[in-house]
C-alpha cells in the first residue's frame, strides 16, 4: 500500500483571492424594450466587468465561470452616491453617459388630417 500523492499541478484552488478588484461600470439603465413604462430607470447601477471569459460547462454545455462578481449589481439613487461608493472601496470605474428621452409630441387628430403622408 502506497501513500496518496497529490501533484501541485492537479490541485484546484476554488477560492481565488483577487489581488486587484475588477473594473466597475456605472450607468443609468434604459427602459426595457418589453415594457412601455420607465420603472427602475431613475437609479444608477454599478456592476463589475468580467474578469475572465465564460467557459462551457462539461456536463450541460451551459456558459459559466467561477467569477461571482458578475452577479453583483448595486443600485444607487444618484450618480454621486455610486461614485462615492466606488471611491470608498478603491474601485476603478467608468461612467457611461445618461440616456435622455426624446419626446415627440403627437396628436390623435393628426391621423385624420387631409394633408398627411401615408
**Residue 47 within a domain:** yes
pLDDT digits (tens, 9 = 90+) for 50-90: 878 888 888 888 888 778 888 899 999 999 999 999 999 99
What's the structural domain count of the chain? 1
**Residue 117 within a domain:** no
Residue 91 pLDDT grade (very low, low, confident, very high; cuts 50, 70, 90): very high
Query: How is residue 32 annotated by DSSP?
Result: P
**Residue 11 within a domain:** no
- Closest by CA to 23, choosing from 70, 66, 88, 59, is 70
Domain harbouring 46, CATH code: 3.30.160.190
Query: What pLDDT is stored for residue 4 in this prediction?
Result: 59
**Residue 63 within a domain:** yes
pLDDT digits (tens, 9 = 90+) for 3-59: 655 555 444 554 455 556 679 999 998 877 777 777 777 899 999 988 788 888 888
**Residue 104 within a domain:** no
What is the spatial distance between Cα 101 and Cα 23, in angstroms, rounded to a whole number? 28
Residue 116 pLDDT grade (very low, low, confident, very high; cuts 50, 70, 90): confident
Q: What's the predicted TM-score (pTM) here?
A: 0.64
Q: How confident is the prediction for the chain on average, in pLDDT? A: 80
Residue owning grid cell 483577487: 18
- CA distances from residue 40 to 30, 65, 81, 92, 118 in whole angstroms, order as listed: 9, 28, 16, 25, 37
The residues pairing with 27 across neighbouring beta strands, listed in sequence order, are 45
**Residue 108 within a domain:** no
The range of the structural domain enclosing residue 42 comes to 22-31+38-99
Amino acid at each position: 500500500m502506497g501513500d496518496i500523492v497529490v501533484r501541485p499541478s492537479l490541485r484546484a484552488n476554488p477560492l481565488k483571492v483577487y489581488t486587484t478588484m475588477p473594473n466597475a461600470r456605472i450607468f443609468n439603465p434604459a427602459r426595457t424594450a418589453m415594457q412601455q413604462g420607465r420603472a427602475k430607470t431613475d437609479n444608477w447601477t454599478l456592476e463589475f466587468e468580467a474578469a475572465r471569459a465564460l467557459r462551457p460547462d462539461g456536463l450541460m454545455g451551459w456558459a459559466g465561470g467561477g467569477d461571482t462578481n458578475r452577479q453583483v449589481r448595486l443600485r444607487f439613487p444618484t450618480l454621486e452616491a455610486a461614485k462615492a461608493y466606488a471611491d470608498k472601496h478603491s474601485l476603478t470605474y467608468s461612467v457611461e453617459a445618461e440616456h435622455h428621452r426624446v419626446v415627440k409630441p403627437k396628436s390623435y387628430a393628426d391621423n385624420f388630417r387631409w394633408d398627411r403622408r401615408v
